[in-house]
């Protein structure tokens, strides 16, 4: 891997006398559209200007040539939609939603993803159709469909039958459209009059942003991808189970990743600093090859202060004058300036908001636009919910403007006085159940509640920007002096804890606070929502079996009584795809956020047969991070290794997309088909037997394997400082009474008992006196909560936690990692952990070393002996209904594994049994 060392200005290090906390204090997440909204990470948003609501996740935005209409492409959970906002600069804009409301969009808008263009006569809007490989047309006045342009074609030596269309640009005369095909690694050039593709221009990997220079002499594209992923070469399509690999086969940065290993079926992925990855390509109009390929931001391996960059720049959005290109680098928190004629990088403009944050990243620059006079550059700062204003003459940041949650794309009005900003997450979700919740047509699923928000803002003067910048800082960070107490959690990260030496981090799946702890008298809960509490009614799906007074998760209740938890903890994530990034302290960049939203709403039905070179790009949910995700500083794994902290992993981060799994895979849980590299520190420090996500495997088996390997490795000492453990069965899936899961609640009971047994085991080891166990969920989707759909479980189990205590301090994923770093005495990794509030409130300096004794499950719901029977070495479990929707539980959409399908699968399995 090439390592290029260039000189860049490095911001000041964090000052030792300053500690940063979340501005929320003890306040929960709350929507206040006319005041201060508190979002799940404890930060505040105070959007400026006129507020216009759209469907979820407006990741595309276009302004009509006459400047009166703005249109967003909303690529969230189905239905895909566009929002046509008429009279955008007036006090009362009019919005047309296409399709209307929450109706199904089949035949109306199959898919959409970012790309938009409006004809010069303001009559027709062209919409990139994402996985449909089409461009859809709509009447701007009425929203009625006007047909589509099919971009699927097969010609000599080129097969573009499967595509994923995204960002687009149209010539001023409206005659030509340039649209990126992310997985086809191409720009499709379309003649609008004939609706035919007239050129397919090859690009780098996963082209993401595209623009034309004002004189239309050049086309510029930003490539956000790293690798062209490839399947293992020793796979037999007729025997995938017998030939797939038993563990991820390459480390990121290794020789095998770079060059491959033909003898072991490992294809080469090449250099992450190749011209095709993390780059901007400039093409003369109508040319088939670029005149320049420019690497932007910082390279992989480049020294950033005192460590080499793990992730690349993630160039994503581009805008241009006739002489210069400006590109936002999502991972580097900077804007690259490129000289078009020279084809060279001129400067990186840092977007640091406050010198007290040092060189920590987390601003996530995304959308970018120029004022009509080309004097000002505006950048959507998705990570801090703001817009940066840059003076083009000096290439310096003038200030920042507050926005909604996760600003994505933006435009300047034709008169140069207004800024139009699309905010992908709007004001957040709010509650999704409870006595004061009124369910709308969008239902209770978190993805459907995350309405988008378009702001029309008066562009501040330079003097006004000073005060607006102060607001942005105060909305995101609270700077205070370190506390002074005897707490086992040090007040800063300068010196490790004297009391706590071992951290165990347990991740579970998809539950909210109210579902499990709504009955807890010390917490702010809604007992009517505690469907997995104690003394609750449990009914099977067919309504044929009822337990009127079930104890679903008695260990969670007992652990909360004995130790401590929070009723004010919120997941930063919406779903599992971004949740598993957050779980390893990788904040999702613009690539992850956009691809996740689009894929959760899509079908991706062509992936198995696709010839597109980018077909194996990461769409949808998986439990791993990928090179496109890697933050500049890397994840928890690189951070621990860099700071010489030993760790060992059971199940975190090894569940890959495209894997093969069935009910007989008791070890590892899946087989691997694609060469997706793992973070280098992880592959050698992960269990090679512990099963990752696979709903066929009881958490009891995972707990057994964990305890077995723990004893084999550390019964005589040398326990690593950090242990990560996944117990995912509270995700839930279809009922399987024959396998010990007669109710959906059975999966919760399985998880509960596994957690209880694990804590009992740990509390009886010699390490217990210096241990803290942190238990949370990767995301809250599929559950319901009366405070906010993002509120979830946060339990801390340790001799040093307060007893029967419910903390009221606002916590998020960043709080977990900040507490880790304070315990270990190592630096912060990014702005999310540095800017969160630590969890010292949960701890006391008066320990109780008594062990915990697990509570038996309610055998009417879950019998561990029955669930474990299939895991006899000689038993081949034929009955299996897979959790094929992964994260699509009953509150997300109608379950696809309906009763008919279940019965068909059972009948099929009986035939197999009879045959055998």
The stretch 338-348 carries a mean pLDDT of 97
Token digits of residue 429:
């979700």
Q: What confidence score (pLDDT) does residue 109 get?
A: 82
- Which residues, in sequence order, are CB contacts of 408 under 8 Å at separation 6+? 58, 59, 61, 366, 367, 380, 382, 422, 423, 424, 590, 594
> Which phi and psi angles does 820 have, rounded to 5°?
-55, -50
Residues 674, 736: one domain? Answer: yes
Is residue 570 one of the residues assigned to a domain?
Answer: yes
Distance CA 282, CA 287 (A): 10
CB 485 within 8 A of CB 491: yes
Q: Structure pTM?
A: 0.93
Boundary residue ending a domain (442, 463, 479): 479
The total number of structural domains that make up the chain: 2
Q: Is residue 35 part of a domain?
A: no
Q: Is 894 helix (H, G, I), strand (E, B) or coil?
A: coil
Q: What whole-number distance in Å separates Cα of residue 539 and Cα of residue 528?
A: 15
The pLDDT value given to residue 15? 43
Q: Lowest mean pLDDT: which of 99-103, 282-286, 845-849, 894-898? A: 894-898
Q: Quick one: tokens of 132?
A: 């449909």
Tokens (6 digits) for 631: 């933050």
pLDDT value at 879 more than 60:
no
Q: What is the pLDDT of residue 880?
A: 31
Give mean pLDDT, residues 503-516. 97
Residue 110: per-residue pLDDT: 80
Q: Which of 593, 438, 568, 466 is nearest to 56 (CA)?
A: 593
| Inside any domain, residue 683 | yes
Least confident of 4-18, 319-333, 442-456, 641-655: 4-18
Note whether 181 and 302 are same-domain residues: yes
pLDDT of residue 58: 96
Residues, the chain: 916
Q: How much is the pLDDT for 915? A: 55
Q: What backbone phi and psi angles, to 5 degrees, belong to 216?
A: 60, 30
Is 839 a domain residue? yes
Report the phi/psi class of residue 642: left, alpha or beta, with left for phi > 0 and alpha for psi in -120 to 50.
alpha
Terminal alpha carbon distance of the chain = 51
| Whether the Cβ atoms of residue 219 and residue 178 lie closer than 8 Å to each other | yes
DSSP single-letter state for residue 730: G
Rounded to the nearest integer, the mean pLDDT of the chain is 91
Q: Dump pLDDT digits (tens) for 377-414.
A: 999 999 999 999 999 999 999 999 999 999 999 999 99
- Averaged pLDDT for residues 578-598: 90
- Following DSSP, what letter does each residue of 95-142 receive, concatenated? EEEES-TT---TTT-S---S-EEE-TTS-EEEEE-BTT-EEEEEETTT
Do 863 and 838 lie in one domain? The reply is: yes
Give yes or no for a contact between 99 and 111, defined as CB atoms under 8 angstroms apart.
no
Instruction: For residue range 113-151, list pLDDT tens digits in order.
Output: 999 999 999 999 999 999 899 999 999 999 999 999 999
CB 636 within 8 A of CB 829: yes
11 found inside a domain: no
Structural domain includes residue 29: no
Lowest mean pLDDT among 583-587, 593-597, 894-898: 894-898
* Dihedral sign from CA coordinates of 625, 628, 629, 634: positive
Do residues 289 and 715 make contact, with C-beta atoms less than 8 angstroms apart? no
**Are the C-beta atoms of 747 and 695 separated by less than 8 Å?**
yes
- Both 381 and 457 in a single domain? yes
How many CA atoms lie less than 13 Å away from 88 in the CB half-sphere? Answer: 31
Please tell me the predicted confidence (pLDDT) of residue 659.
Answer: 85
Instruction: Give tens-digit pLDDT for 605-663.
Output: 556 678 899 988 865 567 899 999 999 999 999 999 999 999 999 999 998 888 888 77
Beta strands 564-566 and 805-807, pairing class? parallel
- CA distance linking residue 554 with residue 749, whole number of Å: 8
Q: CA-to-CA distance for 38 and 440, rounded, in angstroms? A: 22
- Are residues 175 and 145 part of one domain? yes
Residues 512 and 411 in one domain: no
Last residue of a domain, which of 857, 875, 893? Answer: 875
327, 200: one domain:
yes
- Extract the tokens encoding 771: 């241990």
Mean pLDDT, to the nearest integer, of 802-808? 98
Mean pLDDT calculated for residue range 163-176: 97
Residue (of 74, 222, 244, 892) closest to 591 by Cα position? 222
- For residues 390 and 492, state if they share a domain: no
Residue 346 within any structural domain of the chain: yes
Q: Verify that 161 and 87 share a domain, yes or no.
A: yes
Q: Would you state the pLDDT for residue 443?
A: 87
Last residue of a domain, one of 479, 501, 526: 479
Q: Does residue 379 sit in the same domain as residue 352? A: yes
Distance CA(449)–CA(781), nearest Å, equals 11
For residue 394, give every residue at least 6 positions away whose Cβ sits within 8 Å of its Cβ, in sequence order, or none.
none
Q: Do 129 and 111 share a domain, yes or no?
A: yes
For residue 212, give both structure tokens. Answer: 């034309």
Tally of CA atoms within 13 A in the half-sphere of 521 that contains its CB:
2
Contact 751, 745 (CB under 8 A): no
Q: The CATH number of the domain where 284 resides is what?
A: 2.130.10.10
Average pLDDT estimate for 173-178: 98
Structural domain boundaries, residue 471:
49-227+278-479
3-state SS, one letter per residue, for 738-800 = HHCECCCHHHHHHHHHHHHHHHHHHHCCCCHHHEEEEEEECCCCCCCCCCCCCEECEEEECCC
Q: CATH code at 497?
A: 3.40.720.10
Question: 4 lies in a domain?
Answer: no
State the SS3 of 770-781.
HEEEEEEECCCC
Q: Distance between CA 253 and CA 248 in Å, rounded?
A: 14
Is beta strand 37-38 parallel, antiparallel or unpaired with respect to 44-45?
antiparallel
Strands 19-21 and 478-480: antiparallel
pLDDT score recorded for residue 2? 38
Instruction: Note whether 552 and 749 are within 8 A (CB).
Output: yes
**Residue 436: is its pLDDT beyond 70?**
yes
Determine if residue 551 is left, alpha or beta; phi over 0 gives left, psi from -120 to 50 gives alpha, anything else beta: beta
Q: CA–CA separation, 657 vs 599, rounded Å?
A: 13
Closest among 626, 453, 492, 373 to 45, alpha carbons compared: 453
The answer on 571 and 435 residing in a single domain is: no
Contact 423, 58 (CB under 8 A): yes
Element at 476 (helix H, strand E): helix 462-476
CB 133 within 8 A of CB 113: no
Between 167 and 865, the higher pLDDT residue: 167
């Amino acid at each position: 891997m090439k390592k290029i060392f260039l000189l860049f200005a490095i911001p000041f290090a964090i000052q030792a006398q300053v500690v940063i906390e979340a501005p929320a204090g003890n306040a929960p997440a709350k929507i206040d559209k006319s005041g201060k909204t508190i979002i799940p990470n404890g930060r505040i948003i105070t959007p400026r200007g006129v507020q216009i609501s759209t469907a979820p996740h407006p990741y595309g935005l276009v302004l009509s040539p006459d400047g009166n209409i703005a249109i967003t492409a909303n690529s969230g959970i189905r239905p895909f939609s566009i929002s046509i906002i008429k009279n955008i600069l007036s006090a009362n804009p009019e919005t047309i939603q296409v399709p209307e409301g929450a109706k199904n969009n089949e035949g109306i808008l199959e898919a959409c993803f970012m790309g938009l263009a409006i004809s010069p006569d303001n009559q027709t809007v062209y919409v990139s159709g994402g996985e449909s490989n089409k461009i859809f047309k709509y009447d701007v006045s009425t929203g009625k469909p006007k047909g589509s342009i099919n971009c699927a074609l097969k010609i000599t030596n080129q097969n573009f039958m499967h595509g994923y269309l995204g960002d687009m640009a149209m010539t001023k005369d409206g005659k030509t459209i340039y649209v990126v095909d992310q997985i086809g690694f191409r720009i499709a050039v379309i003649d609008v009059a004939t609706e035919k593709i007239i050129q397919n221009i090859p690009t780098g990997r996963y082209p993401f942003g595209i623009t034309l220079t004002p004189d239309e002499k050049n086309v510029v594209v930003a490539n956000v991808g790293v690798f062209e992923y490839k399947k293992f070469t020793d796979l037999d399509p007729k025997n995938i189970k017998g030939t797939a690999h038993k563990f991820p086969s390459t480390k990121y940065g290794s020789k095998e990743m770079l060059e491959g290993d033909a003898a072991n079926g490992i294809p080469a992925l090449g250099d992450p600093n190749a011209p095709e990855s993390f780059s901007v390509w400039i093409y003369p109009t109508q040319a088939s090859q670029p005149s320049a390929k420019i690497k932007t931001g910082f390279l992989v391996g480049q020294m950033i202060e005192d460590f080499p960059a793990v992730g690349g720049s993630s160039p994503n959005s581009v805008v241009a004058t006739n002489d210069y290109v400006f590109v936002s680098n999502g991972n580097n928190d900077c804007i690259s300036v490129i000289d078009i004629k020279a084809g060279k990088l001129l400067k990186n403009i840092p977007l640091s908001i406050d010198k007290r944050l040092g060189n920590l990243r987390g601003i996530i620059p995304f959308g970018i636009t120029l004022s009509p006079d080309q004097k000002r550059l505006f950048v959507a700062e998705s990570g801090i919910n703001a817009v940066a204003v840059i003076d083009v003459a000096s290439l310096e940041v003038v200030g920042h403007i507050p926005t909604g949650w996760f600003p994505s794309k933006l435009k300047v009005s034709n008169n140069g006085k207004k800024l139009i900003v699309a905010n992908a997450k709007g004001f957040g979700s709010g509650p999704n159940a409870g006595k004061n919740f009124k369910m709308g047509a969008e239902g209770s699923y978190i993805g459907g509640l995350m309405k988008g928000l378009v702001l029309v803002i008066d562009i501040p003067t330079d003097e006004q920007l000073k005060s607006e910048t102060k607001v942005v800082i105060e909305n995101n960070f609270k700077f205070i002096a370190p506390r002074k107490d005897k707490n086992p959690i040090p007040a800063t990260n300068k010196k490790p804890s004297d009391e706590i030496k071992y951290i165990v981090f347990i991740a579970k799946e998809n539950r909210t606070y109210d579902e499990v702890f709504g009955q807890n008298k010390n917490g702010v809960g809604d007992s009517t929502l505690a469907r997995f509490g104690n003394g609750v009614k449990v009914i099977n799906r067919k309504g044929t079996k009822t337990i009127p007074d079930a104890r679903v998760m008695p260990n969670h209740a007992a652990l909360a009584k004995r130790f401590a938890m929070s009723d004010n903890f919120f997941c930063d994530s919406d779903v599992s795809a971004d949740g598993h990034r957050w779980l390893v302290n990788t904040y999702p960049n613009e690539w992850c956020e956009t691809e996740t939203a689009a894929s959760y709403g899509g079908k991706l039905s062509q992936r198995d047969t696709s010839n597109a070179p980018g077909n194996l790009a990461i769409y949808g949910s998986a439990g791993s991070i990928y090179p496109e995700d890697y933050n500049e500083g890397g994840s928890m794994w690189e951070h621990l290794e860099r700071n010489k902290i030993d760790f060992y992993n059971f199940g975190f981060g090894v569940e890959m997309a495209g894997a093969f799994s069935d009910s007989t895979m008791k070890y590892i849980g899946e087989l691997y088909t694609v060469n997706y590299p793992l973070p280098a520190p992880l592959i050698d420090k992960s269990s090679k037997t512990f099963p990752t996500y696979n709903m066929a495997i009881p958490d009891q088996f995972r707990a057994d394997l964990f305890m077995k390997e723990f004893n084999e490795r550390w019964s005589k000492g040398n326990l690593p400082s950090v242990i990560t453990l996944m117990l995912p069965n509270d995700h839930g899936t279809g009922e399987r009474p024959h396998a010990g899961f007669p109710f959906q609640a059975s999966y919760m009971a399985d998880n509960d008992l596994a957690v209880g047994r694990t804590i009992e085991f740990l509390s009886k080891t010699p390490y217990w006196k210096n241990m803290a166990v942190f238990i949370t969920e990767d995301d809250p989707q599929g559950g319901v909560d009366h405070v906010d759909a993002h509120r979830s479980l946060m339990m801390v189990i340790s001799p040093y936690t307060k007893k029967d205590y419910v903390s009221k301090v606002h916590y998020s994923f960043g709080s977990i990692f900040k507490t880790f770093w304070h315990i270990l005495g190592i630096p912060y990794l990014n702005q999310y952990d540095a800017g969160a509030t630590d969890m010292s409130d949960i701890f006391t300096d008066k320990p109780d070393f008594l062990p915990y004794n697990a509570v038996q499950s309610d055998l009417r719901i879950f019998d561990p002996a029955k669930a474990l029977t299939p895991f006899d070495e000689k038993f081949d479990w034929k009955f299996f209904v897979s959790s094929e929707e992964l994260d699509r539980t009953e509150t997300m959409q109608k379950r696809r594994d309906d009763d008919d399908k279940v019965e068909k699968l059972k009948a099929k399995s009986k035939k197999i049994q009879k045959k055998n």
